[in-house]
Amino acid sequence: MNGPLSRRRFFEATAAAAAGVSLSAPPCAAQGNPHVDAGARPIPGGVSPFGVTIHHFPLPAPGTPLANLTEPSEITDFNGFIADTRIRGTGTGPGGQALLYQADMGFMDGVFVANDGKHDNATWCFI
């Protein structure tokens, strides 16, 4: 990276991650990595809110048997560390009524096989 991440760039990247899109070249391309296509291959399936496919499976409910857990990775051919969490809470809406919310977030850090078949190392976040 060329320096500290600006607050504006952080929010742009966060919004892009939430929408499942990229605002810039993959990290390896920005570092001069000789990939033809350094993009990661997403896992099959996922969810499509607002017509945008996000290759992510929400966390299962607490107490779900291990045999029924969903895929925590968001890309295929990945070897590394994955952290997922679900945050739930209440807020206050207009007029003072209680509003429930839930956020599913996580990150991945490790080695993956890019679209061009070469190995690369990167970190992703899902907010």
- pLDDT for 10-58, tens place per residue? 666 665 555 444 444 444 444 555 667 777 888 777 777 788 777 767 7
The identity of residue 108, as a single letter, is M
Q: Which residue's structure tokens are 């810039």?
A: 24
* Mean pLDDT in residue range 53-67: 75
Question: Within a domain: residue 64?
Answer: yes
Question: Within a domain: residue 1?
Answer: no
Its pTM surpasses 0.75: no
Domain count of the fold of the chain: 1
Position 28 scores a pLDDT of: 45
Measure Cα distances from 55 to 21, 36, 75, 82 in Å: 11, 23, 8, 15
Q: In whole angstroms, give the CA distance from residue 16 to residue 23.
A: 7
- Other C-beta atoms closer than 10 Å to the C-beta of 74 total 21
Per-residue model confidence as pLDDT tens digits over 94-109: 888 999 988 888 888 9
Question: Within a domain: residue 27?
Answer: yes
Question: Within a domain: residue 2?
Answer: no
Which residues constitute the domain of residue 96?
A: 7-126
